[in-house]
Amino acid sequence: MIHPEARSAPHLQTTPMTIVAYRILVATLFVVAALLATTNLPYAPRTWFDEGSHLHVPKTLVRHGKYADISATPDGGIEFRYHGPTVGIGPTIMLPVAAVYQVFGVGLTQGRLVIVIYLAIALVAGYALARHLYDRWIALIALALLLASRTVHYEGLIEYGRQVLGETPGIAFVFLGMLAWLTALKTAAQPEMQRAHRTWSVLAGLGFGLALVTKNQFALILPLALALIALLDWRYYRAGNWTLRLVPPVIAVGCFALWTVIQFALLGPGTFFENLQQTRQAAGGAIFVFNLRSTLRAGYYLLRPDLFGGLVVPALAYTIWRARRRTSEGLCEALLALIIGLWLAWFVGASLGWPRYAFPAVALSALTVARLAFDAINWLRRVLPMAATIAVTYLIVIIALPVAMTARIVFTPDDSAQQFAAYLDAHVPETAIIATWEPELGVLTDHRYLYPPQSMLDQAVRHTWLGGDPVRYNWYAARPEYVVVGGFGGYTGVYRTPELERHYIQVARIGTYALYQVRAGSGE
């Protein structure tokens, strides 16, 4: 059993004054988190491609009874698409958003509120995990680091927790799974608590399993980490038992398998295996790339000083060193190190190197960086007090600056997408066909949007990140009445063709969005 009072690290002296100060600091951080999570929610960050495509699925489910993406067809019909967002993130996001849509109507704010709830769960569970695994002061630092997890150019937990993406809900489930796993470990050696031990082992498996279902990248790491920690416990730590070693990974994998079976039943074998083929194709362009340039880009992101002060990798090394102890504490830190280490190894060695892919490991690293910072400051206080003061200042800076950058985004709203949607509602008939690659508009209005085929997304990714062939798409073959070129369409250049200039005229521009209408009398 893990006893907080038996930690090897020195602690701040506990007095009524320090307890009050601690509670004030924790309350302050949660108030700051609430403000950053909810202020200007529909407008910051501005909605974009991924979020829009994800929100198509619950809207389609509510409006048409189909668990699918949607696009107009050239003849004005509807095409249901069962790949892309339907497998990118899971029912743990789609179904709650659909339920909110059913009750309160379709809207970006309604969808984002679901993710804000997941953000609250992630923050509370991450804080609780750090407190149970380490102590209250390390938990305080970990909570602050979770709020400060962005960099100059890339988003952090607050920003991801304000958008309908899979990262924040997945992190929330991992934190919950680890909390349950830690509680199960504490009860493993207590015969009188075997029923509770089995319950917590099952709950740990459910937490990890829901993470696997939430976002498919978690399935690359968590099952392997759980299998390795079971092997390490059996052969080295001997701190747990076979219930803890087997139940969580079996239930976690079972959750993922059940969701796969449900997809097979809903889609039928033809569509299901077509999805598998497209998933393998997408994996080759983003998940398993093995590209030197991607590796260098990923490594730079992890080592850059604006990401937790450049301490992610040193904190992982420190956690591995601490995990050498053949104790319950060592086993817990070994699981944390395995998840972070395996994730970062995949991110650097195999993935496209997009920083968002690393973020679940970065969020978990808030705990390990907090542990490293706390221990280093306490050690320096004994041997070199001046250096300890510098270290404390450095810690404050690497927390305050990212939080300030997040606050700047939150308090600088961008409503250009909503303005453009309002313009479409006022000036474009809903029956008109609009060719575009801005799926967020499909959530903000009910127009008929004709999107490029889903398979083209992989081509766009390869071209942008790996220098592959440019995207070629004969959008003009559908003869759409309108074309909208926004952030993603302009980024990929799919509508940058002679037909747009020859047959269309720009009639409106708001923010990054431009609306083109077919010229009067334009021929074939």
Strands 433-436, 448-450: parallel, antiparallel or unpaired by DSSP?
parallel
φ/ψ of 192, rounded to 5, equals -75, -10
Name beta bridge partners: 478: none
The total of other beta-carbon atoms located within 10 Å of residue 189's CB is: 13
139 by Cβ neighbours in 10 Å (0-12 / 13-18 / 19+) ranks as buried
**pLDDT for residue 459:** 79
* The pLDDT of residue 63 is above 70: yes
The 10s digit of each residue's pLDDT in 334-353 is 999 999 999 999 999 999 89
The total of other beta-carbon atoms located within 10 Å of residue 76's CB is: 11
Q: What is the mean pLDDT of residues 260-276?
A: 75
The 10s digit of each residue's pLDDT in 289-337 is 888 988 999 999 999 999 999 999 999 999 999 999 999 999 999 999 9
Query: Nearest-5° angle of CA 53, CA 54, CA 56?
Result: 65
The 10s digit of each residue's pLDDT in 410-458 is 999 999 999 999 999 999 999 999 999 999 999 999 999 999 998 888 7
232 by Cβ neighbours in 10 Å (0-12 / 13-18 / 19+) ranks as buried
SS3 338: helix
The contacts found for 102-109 with CB under 8 angstroms, 24 or more apart, are 102/62, 106/59, 106/62, 106/63, 106/443, 107/42, 107/443, 108/42, 108/47, 108/55, 108/418, 108/440, 108/443, 108/444, 109/41, 109/42
**pLDDT for residue 1:** 38
The 10s digit of each residue's pLDDT in 471-503 is 888 999 999 999 999 999 999 999 999 999 999
- For residues 264 and 245, give the distance between their C-alpha atoms in angstroms, rounded to a whole number: 30
Q: Return the closest-CA partner of residue 366 out of 342, 339, 345.
A: 339
**pLDDT for residue 282:** 60
- From residue 207, give the alpha-carbon distance in Å to each of 218, 385, 394, 410: 12, 42, 35, 30
Q: What angle in degrees, to the nearest 10, is found between the helix axes of 292-303 and 455-466?
A: 80
Is the distance from CB of 478 to CB of 74 less than 8 angstroms?
A: yes
**pLDDT for residue 278:** 66
Q: What is the mean pLDDT of residues 205-212?
A: 98
Reading the block at residue 175, the tokens are 């934190």
* The pLDDT of residue 14 is above 80: no
**pLDDT for residue 520:** 85
- For residues 355 and 358, give the distance between their C-alpha atoms in angstroms, rounded to a whole number: 5
* The pLDDT of residue 273 is above 80: no
Is the distance from CB of 141 to CB of 374 less than 8 angstroms?
A: yes
Omega of the bond prior to 385 within 30 degrees of 0, cis?
Answer: no
**pLDDT for residue 219:** 95
Q: 15 in the Ramachandran plot: left (φ > 0), alpha (ψ -120 to 50) or beta? A: beta
* The pLDDT of residue 7 is above 50: no
Model pTM? Answer: 0.94
SS3 47: coil
**pLDDT for residue 3:** 44
Nearest 10 degrees: Cα torsion 352, 354, 359, 362: 80
The 10s digit of each residue's pLDDT in 247-258 is 999 999 999 999
- For residues 140 and 130, give the distance between their C-alpha atoms in angstroms, rounded to a whole number: 8
DSSP state of 453: P
- For residues 403 and 32, give the distance between their C-alpha atoms in angstroms, rounded to a whole number: 9
**pLDDT for residue 197:** 95
**pLDDT for residue 338:** 98
- For residues 238 and 503, give the distance between their C-alpha atoms in angstroms, rounded to a whole number: 72
Q: Which strand (E) or helix (H) includes residue 512?
A: none
DSSP state of 225: H
Is the distance from CB of 68 to CB of 268 less than 8 angstroms?
A: no
Q: Which strand (E) or helix (H) includes residue 387?
A: helix 385-410
Q: What is the mean pLDDT of residues 158-172?
A: 98
Q: How confident is the model at residue 280 (pLDDT cuts 50, 70, 90)?
A: low
Q: Which amino acid, residue 482? A: Y
